[in-house]
Each structure stands twice: as structure tokens, then as C-alpha cells.
Structure 1
Amino acid sequence: MPEEKITFVNGEPAKCGCQMKFSSGGGDYSDVLYVMPCAAHSPKPFGPVEVKRDKDGWWYHPNIPNFGEDEDPAPYTAWTKEQGLELKGWHSGDEIYDLPEEDAACTAWNPESPGPEWFLMGIFDTEDGPYVQWARREVAP
């Protein structure tokens, strides 16, 4: 199998979507080149993992990158598009029932997948209450 080369020109992302960041090390260490592979070049594609919710019922997919404390959804949205993911989510109150008032977390809520090809991205708290988000690979038209 021939070796594939990823080419970066003037610090711009490669045609495939891989990105590169350079650091001179500020004189403290050697030059460092960081490569963030696109979905096609990621060593292992992002996908479903075993779900083990915590004692309050919350869970996040462990392979979602950390986008910092900023609440701006743009980096997350860009990352999901780069991964080729379609997202679907809803709040617990959008379902047939609401959570029992005594359930301050979401241990009583067990949302069902929208279909067999969907996998869980997370069950987390929002200002509007518990929220679930599912993902699947985008389906080609």
C-alpha cells in the first residue's frame, strides 16, 4: 500500500481537513508541530462506546474533545461536522412524561435511541433541564 502524504501549505489546513499548529517552544524546548487529523485520517473513527451513567444519571461520551469552559457551541459544532456526524437531541420534558420532582438529577429518565444507527453523545443538565443528544454518521443522499 503506497504511503499517503498530507500536505500543509503556509499553515493552512490540508485539502482533506487535517489541521496543523506550530509552536517554536519559546526557547524552552524544541519546535513542536501539532497535527489534528481529519475524520478520514483519524486513527480510530469516533463512534459508540459503552455507556455508564454516574449516580445522578449524567454521562458524556469520553472521546469528545475538551473545548474549554467557553459556552460557544461553534467549536463543538465544527468538530461534529468534521467527524461527519448528524446530531439529534431533546429535553426530558419533550417526552411523554416529565421526571419525578423528587428526582433532582435524571436517574429516572432513560431516553430511547431514535434508531439502531444512533449512539449516545451525552445526557447532561441544561438551564431547561436534562437533555439527551444522539449522533449517527451522516447519511449520503
Structure 2
Amino acid sequence: MTIKPIEVVRDTKGMFSHPDFPAWDDNAEVKEMNDWFSMNNGAWYIDSFESNGPEEMVESWFDNGDSDCTNWQPICDKPGAFLLSIHDTKEGPVGLFFVPHLTAVEGIIHGD
């Protein structure tokens, strides 16, 4: 099984979840997550709103309780990566990406 990218349609607060992505909560075990990503021939990458969001939006989120991150665009520059979710955590929103294990046949030569 390999998960595939889909069109990202965010809700009114800017959140998103890929329909084939498990609904883990904050208590999910890292091993369970790693096993799922491995089974899907990939790895995960997290972009943090607190670290990489627009400064004004981050301040509004944490100082004013504004729960809207619709203008934040999480980024992952890994080849073939695609967004699995934008969800809130104890540390604020995160963008969780699926990073496929690409091979030379798919256009990426390992070691470059």
C-alpha cells in the first residue's frame, strides 16, 4: 500500500487531513507512526507554524487565541513530498508531510 497525494482542501480554520491518513491523537506512539509510514514506503516531515508561520499570524495565534491558520502554507522541500495534515497540537499547528522513498527509476538517484 502506498498513499497518494490529493488536492488539499482546508477547512475554515485552515486545517486539513488526508482521508487515507490515520486519525492519531497526541498520544500516538512514534513506533506506530513510523510503521505506518514504512508500510506506505515513506517517511514523515513536520513543518511547525510556531517556527515558520508569518510572525503576525503566530503572535495572534499564541497571544490572542486566534485559531485561524488559513494563510499559513506549510512547506517541505523534500522530493515528492505531499501534505497529509494540518492540525493543531499543544505547540500550535503543524503541517505533516509524507515523504516517499524515491528510487532512481522514479527520477531520484540516491546519494546525490
What is the aligned partner in structure 2 of residue 124 from structure 1?
87
Matched, 1:104 2:67: yes
- Report 1:74-113 matches (<5 A): 74-95=31-52, 97-98=54-55, 99-100=57-58, 101=60, 103-113=66-76
Cα gap change, 1:66 to 1:89, in 2 (>3 Å)? closer
Cα gap change, 1:118 to 1:57, in 2 (>3 Å)? same
Aligned residue pair count: 97
Q: Which of the numbers 48, 69, 72 marks the counterpart of 2:28?
A: 72
Q: Which amino acid letter does the alignment assign opposite residue 97 of structure 2?
A: W
* C-alpha deviation, 1:105, in angstroms: 2.6
Structure 2 CA distance for aligned equivalents of residues 83 and 112 of structure 1? 21
* C-alpha deviation, 1:52, in angstroms: 0.6
Secondary structure at 2:6 match in 1: coil
- Report 1:29-68 matches (<5 A): 39=1, 45-66=2-23
* C-alpha deviation, 1:112, in angstroms: 3.1
1:76-103 CA deviation, whole Å, 9 max, x = no partner?
2211111111211121121163325164
Range moving further from structure 2, 46-55 or 57-66: 57-66
Structure 1 unaligned regions, length at least 5 = 1-38, 40-44
What is the aligned partner in structure 1 of residue 99 from structure 2?
136
1:42-98 CA deviation, whole Å, 9 max, x = no partner?
xxx31101111011100111111345x672223222111111112111211211633
* C-alpha deviation, 1:111, in angstroms: 2.0
Structure with the greater relative contact order (CA < 8 A, sep ≥ 6): 1 or 2? Answer: 2
- Report 1:14-33 matches (<5 A): none
Q: Which amino acid letter does the alignment assign opposite residue 117 of structure 1?
A: G
* C-alpha deviation, 1:139, in angstroms: 3.1
CA RMSD in angstroms comes to: 2.3
Structure 1 CA distance for aligned equivalents of residues 53 and 4 of structure 2? 28
Cα gap change, 1:70 to 1:123, in 2 (>3 Å)? closer
The structure with the largest alpha-carbon Rg is 1
